């Protein structure tokens, strides 16, 4: 799902509430900006009944390429991880049979 599609769905759900498509797009953009801001400020954004976005830092390292035997430097980086809530996992798994091994 894209931001534009999300804004369209928001517009459809709020029809009759005096919200234009343009305003729906602004709302979606603002939500994502707040998530980004929260990650940059605190490194964690928790959304109840949905999940947790977390900023994970990776240190710089030097690795050896197995095919060439050369040492390669990998710079430090940060990635965003998402851990779904138990409620979200439960809703996604409705109708899925549990198999005991």
Tens-place pLDDT, residues 42-77: 999 999 999 999 999 999 999 999 888 899 999 999
- Residue 10's nearest CA partner among 37, 35, 78, 22 is 22
Tell me: pLDDT of 95 over 90. no
For residues 69-94, give the mean pLDDT: 93
Distance CA 30, CA 23 (A): 10
pLDDT of res. 30: 96
Both 72 and 38 in one domain: the answer is no
For residues 22 and 58, membership in a common domain is answered with no
Reading phi first (left if > 0) and then psi (alpha if -120 to 50, else beta), residue 2 is in: beta
Whether residues 59 and 33 share a domain: the answer is: no
Enclosing domain of residue 84: 44-92
Residues 37 and 70 in one domain: no
Cβ 76 vs Cβ 59: under 8 Å: yes
CA distance 55 to 82: 9
The model's pTM: 0.74
Please check whether residue 1 lies inside any domain of the structure: yes
Q: How many helices (H) and strands (E) does the chain have?
A: 3, 5
Do residue 33 and residue 65 come from a single domain?
Answer: no
């Amino acid at each position: 799902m894209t931001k534009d599609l999300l804004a369209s769905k928001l517009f459809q759900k709020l029809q009759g509430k005096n919200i234009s498509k343009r305003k729906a797009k602004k709302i979606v953009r603002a939500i994502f900006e707040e998530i980004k801001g929260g990650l940059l400020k605190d490194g964690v954004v928790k959304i109840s009944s949905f999940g947790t976005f977390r900023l994970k830092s990776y240190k710089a390292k030097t690795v050896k390429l197995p095919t060439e035997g050369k040492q390669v430097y990998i710079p430090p980086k940060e990635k965003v991880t998402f851990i779904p809530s138990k409620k979200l996992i439960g809703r996604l798994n409705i109708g899925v049979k549990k198999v005991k091994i």
